[in-house]
Amino acid sequence: MRLFIAIQLDEAAKEYLSSVQDQFRESNVRGSYTPEENLHLTLAFIGEYPDPDKVMDALESVWDGPFEITFSDVGRFDDLWWIGIQDNEALSQLVKRVRHSLSEAGIPYDKKRFKPHITLLRRADFAKGRPEQIVTEARTMKVSGISLMRSSQGKHGMIYSEMGYVTE
């Protein structure tokens, strides 16, 4: 099973991020847009791992109560475009606790430096146009828990399924 730990987005956040994606579409930018239902904030990518129960056990002690995140500007890693999250101490501490708990349980995960972002578009192709400017707003969302997610390849792209949820 291909697993990751994420913050699921509420409907208002997904609608807002979809409107940001529309700015790319309106500029005729082609690529692989993240479907609205797949928009999320990854905290730790585990990858192939056979025991989701062990992951859930590791996550039981990491939740420290609700907090808010605020979306910021768009950015990119090569041809992958994303929207960032404003600096947030509660989020940073949560990620540290998640990763520490995974390490303590012997669960492997991608140890790249955490750069909080939500992927909007992969393989962006600007051959037919480039947006002059992508307009974003400092929208805020309450985070009430974290999810253990499974990703699998579907007929029309990736399918993300929640396998567990950790909250108060």
Q: What is the pLDDT of residues 61-106, one digit of tens each?
A: 999 999 999 999 999 898 899 999 999 999 999 999 999 999 999 9
Give CA 47 to chain center in angstroms.
14
Q: What is the pLDDT of residue 125?
A: 86
pLDDT of 130 reads 67
With contact defined as beta carbons under 8 Å apart, do 122 and 80 qualify?
A: yes
pTM for the model = 0.92
SS (H, E, C) the chain: CEEEEEEECCHHHHHHHHHHHHHHHHCCCEEEECCHHHCEEEEEEEEECCCHHHHHHHHCCCCCCCEEEEEEEEEEECCEEEEEECCCHHHHHHHHHHHHHHHHCCCCCCCCCCCCEEEEEEEEECCCCCCCCCCCCCCEEEECCEEEEEEEEECCEEEEEEEEEECC
Q: What range does the domain containing 108 cover?
A: 2-166
The pLDDT score that the predictor gives to residue 129 is 59
Residue ranges in the chain whose pLDDT is less than 50: none
Domain count, the chain: 1
CATH number at residue 43: 3.90.1140.10
pLDDT of residue 8: 97
CA dist., res. 10 & res. 79, Å (int):
26
pLDDT at 128: 63
